[in-house]
Amino acid sequence: MRDYKAAYEEWMRQLAEGSPLRADLESIRDDEKEQQERFCQDLHFGTAGLRGRLGAGTACMNIYTVGRAARGIAAYIRSSGPDMMKRGIVIAHDPRHMSREFSDLSAGIFARNGIRVYIFPDLRPTPELAFMVRHLHCACGVNVTASHNPKEYNGYKVYWEDGCQVGSKIAGEMTDQIEKLGYFDENLDGTAFQEGLESGTITVLGPEYDQAYLDLIEGCSLHGPEELDLSIPFVYTPLNGAGSVPFTRVMEHVGYQNWHMVPEQKDPDPDFTTVGYPNPESPAAFKRAEELGSQTGAQLLMATDPDADRFAVELLREDGSYVPLNGNQTGYLLVYYLLDGRKAAGTLPEKGAMVRSIVTSPMSDVIAASFGVKMFQSLTGFKNICGRIPVVEQQGYTYIFGYEESVGYAACPQIRDKDGISAGMLIAEAAAYYRRQGKSLWQLLMELYDRYGWYAEDEPNLVLEGLEGKARIGRMMKSLRADPPKSAAGIAVRQLTDYKEGFEDLEPTDALAFTLEDGSWFAVRPSGTEPKIKFYFYTKQDSRRQALDVNRRIREAVLARVEAVE
């Protein structure tokens, strides 16, 4: 472990008197625990890029940690040759504190390193950035965003030429370049960005590039306006993020007549004042949408997170209440709608393929199989899900859709990341299509359970922040490996799969899956981007009520076992 006290004092010497970062450090002068949290290690750069709390210190997001990462990535691009430098990098950002500053800082650093830079004039969704890497034939892409994390966080997602977030090999090579550098090796006075604009090395992208992204999304549509009930009432909230403008443009172009956006959450707000935790997976994020939905008679509520890559839904039930769907359930609806629509249109490929993560419900496998479509598995994260697209295509399959339970969906093969805007367009379209047939999405979901099996799905997690939390998560995983449970809720464990040893053609990852004698299963894995350990519980029974009960009992038994680890 690094001498955090010495690192703290070095930063105090380097930072100018009166600067905000120095004042931040002065505020923790007598707090050794906080000094240790901030300086005992570097902010880790990996396949998810960077992500951390804003503030001074080597383990935080600030101009020095971001500048060091940008310089290391620039060195990696330069080492890849002049063609990659000429192809360049495209940069976007979300509405968070310091996102624009980190975006401009990075653009200036890349430009000074002789790398062509394309940058958006203001905030854009992560999936648009992912698309633009391929659309512009860039070598690399960066979006400055912490996705759905609380306001105290920011992050730095890095993409490579295939339009996916960097894989482990490239991330490791970038890390090698980054770790050669110091934090204060270069003057970060902000002049590099303006120099890049004046020299033409930095190009600000115009509205035609936004239109290319929107045209691609609208091209995923399955039914024309004449087949839809465009009067269907629904509510959307971008949770004060980047989804407002593109979602509005798509909905208006289709011609929906009775939809509403939560006014308090329409515009960017880095403090997420009316949301708190801007994660659409959390039902609490739908509070304002539910209020507006009740006023307008909305049949469904939709939300995207601040960088508009995650997407979640609440549906109106017969009793007038709104019920939040988990990511698996929204996935069932999208899988069925896409396949049902393509079959009706005669566009279902002879060898169709979909991709889900290893911790996503197998009910979608059954739905896909009923249409003659193969469901492939991948590791979690869309660098892995969309990374399977070339693999399935090499085997003669046509990619249709990919998703995972953490409310991420990829319906456009040209966008190699999850996309909340296209998912929202398709769910709104599905709701309008089935409403024209006299059916709600809630009724359709119940029909799918009745037709394909009464599954239950549950994805809880434990949040354990800081160094102590990280260490405890490590002990939990070690305990499960050293002494794996022999049963859960009285049901014997039939098989243990340790993905850390690799599985089939998948790369090793820190995850465990336990299959029980009755076919139920659960998985455990530490999050790669948040201070969480995540759990996944699945079962199939004779009724939805029975499935929920069995899943609950398994969950209680497993969580009790894991939480006992100190």
Q: What residues act catalytically?
A: 147
Classify 501 as helix, strand or coil. Answer: helix
- Give the number of other Cβ atoms within 10 Å of residue 270's Cβ: 17
Calculate the CA 233 to chain-centre distance: 27
What letters, b where the CB count within 10 A reaches 16 and e where it falls short, cover 440-476? bbbebbeebbeebbbbbbbbebbebeeeeeeebbeeb
For every residue of 41-80, DSSP letters joined together read SPPPPBTTBEEEEBSSSTTSBSHHHHHHHHHHHHHHHHHT
Nearest to 142 by CA among 190, 186, 193, 102: 102
Q: Tell me how long the chain is.
A: 566
Residue found by looking up tokens 């935790």 in the block: 277
Calculate the CA 558 to chain-centre distance: 26
Calpha distance 461→531 (Å, rounded): 10
Calpha distance 158→143 (Å, rounded): 7
**Positive or negative: CA dihedral 27, 32, 33, 34:** positive
**Positive or negative: CA dihedral 507, 509, 515, 520:** negative
DSSP state letter for 539: E
Specify the pairing of strand 50-53 against strand 117-119: unpaired
- Give the number of other Cβ atoms within 10 Å of residue 231's Cβ: 12
Specify the pairing of strand 454-458 against strand 398-404: unpaired
For every residue of 300-338, DSSP letters joined together read EEEEE-TTS-BEEEEEE-TTS-EEEPPHHHHHHHHHHHH
- Give the number of other Cβ atoms within 10 Å of residue 140's Cβ: 25
Nearest to 153 by CA among 534, 459, 529, 468: 529
